[in-house]
Amino acid sequence: MKLKIIILICVLLSFKVSAQEQPQRINFILSIDEKIVSGSVSKIKILASLTHGGKRVIEADYYPGNLSLSQSDYALLKSDTVSSVFLSFTYSEFCNKNRRDYDYEIDLKKGWLQSYFYVLYVYNTDKSRYKKILEPLKGKHYIYEFDYPGGGTKRIRKIKINDCD
């Protein structure tokens, strides 16, 4: 009798383990200040504004080339109940043994979820290198551009950059 109970428990546990949701992986590359970001990103969240006025915070994970979230959250983002999507994260950088944290909130269009890949380029305009050539977004210390199979966006430069050097 005890053996039957143990077998039943093992079978039920195996169903629970196999029923756990696999994450939805999105081909996503994040570049900050012309460097592919690897381990210096934290607090990654997707902020979804719902059509009825509410908001939903979705936890996500990132490693180079991959943004992961649950299947149910991915389905929600693609649904008509979501009107806008923002990617929020913190980027940490070390310079001369000092740590600097940058907080970002990037407006993503829902269509990017349908793409085979998405590349996001972020530039910190408080750094002199980018301050000279790019105008920050209003009220922010950064600007961003993106590429995906359907197109992309490039911001207007203050000065022309010679890409051939």
Q: What is the mean pLDDT of residues 22-27?
A: 87
- Please report which residue ranges of the chain form alpha helices under DSSP H: 2-18, 71-78, 128-131
* pLDDT at position 136 over 90: no
* pLDDT at position 127 over 70: yes
Between these two residues, 11 and 44, which has the higher pLDDT value? Answer: 44
Secondary structure (DSSP) of 20-56: SPPEEEE-EEEEETTEE--S-EEEEEEEEEETTS-EE
Question: What confidence category does residue 155 fall into, taking pLDDT thresholds of 50, 70 and 90?
Answer: low
Query: Helix (H, G, I), strand (E, B), or coil: what is residue 76?
Result: helix
What's the whole-model pTM score? 0.78
**Percent of the chain at pLDDT above 90?**
38
CB atoms within 10 A of CB 120: 21
| Domains of the chain, residue spans | 21-116
